[in-house]
A and B are shown apart, each in its own frame.
Chain A
Amino acid sequence: MSTATMTAPADKKSHSLALKAGLLLVGIHVFVGLLTLVWLPYDPTAMAGGRLEGPSLLHWLGTDRLGRDLFTQMMIGSRIALIVGIGAVTIGAIIGVTLGLLAAFASKWLDDALAATLDILIAFPTLLIAMLVVAASDTANLWSAIIALGIALSAIVARLTRILAKRVLVMDYITAARTSGSSWPKIVAIHILPNIWPTLSVNFALQFGLAVIAEASLSYLGLGAPPPNASWGRILQEAQGTVYTAPLGAIAPGIALVSLAIGVNLLADGLRDTIDPTRRAR
């Protein structure tokens, strides 16, 4: 108890710092993403200036090779990245948690079969699975990319959920709840999900970053959102031919990607620490 109280202030500080930094980074992207719905500096598809202009007061990040304002495209990229991240993680979470719980409760052979299938799926890179799913659907658009990424991520979520749920299932408090007559759905809702949630949520944050980067890669390969949707991956792809003359076209999407991914992870870490009473300083 005494060590807990002694380390509490320092812990609390670093926790809340992570939370604040995460909130700030994610907040900026969310703000910009929402802003694009009502206001943009320039028409993203129109020639707003000369080709490949450098940064100026009129064009903060310069223009691309068609003379479009890069900052405008980056703003739209924030919105797309958020939609992709939230969409893919939500799909991955729903499918993955359901499958994982199923496996945890299943009879031994079904559990083994599911576990083996998941291991094989996870052995393939997320991007490869997503490419196969997108290729299998007729049209490549933002939603096919999101669904593909969600499906690819669900295998990772399922495996983690299975392991975490199994660990909770053997706890005495589960047996105690069953002894006192709790039904399984109730036990899942009030004991299992809350206890696996802290670890899962941190994993979701990792996957959010993974999904945004994977979408960028899909776009880069021409399998993501088609133009005029300026996802960061597409901006990167279009900038690659002119990277020596106008490096900002490649640097800006890179920084945006990394800042969002780090922000989401910091936010998830910080949130977990405030949710989990054993980590929370009183």
Chain B
Amino acid sequence: MMHVMFLGFVGLVIGSILWLEWPSLDHALTKAVYLTIVFSVFIISVVITLWPDTPGPLQGVRTLFRPLILPWMRK
């Protein structure tokens, strides 16, 4: 229930900023970028709310850079 309310609130915020900003987005590319970002934010927030342990970008960074650190860590 809390999840639904929270996600509904996020959706409401996204809807309101879309509605207010839409007339000022002139380029088609701007509209596309705006919509992409906003919808991916919503989808990711749904994912995080329902599965809280989803790895995030920091985990990605950690796995990427771990090989660089390993030689030093052993010292």
Task: Decide whether A and B assemble into one complex.
Answer: no
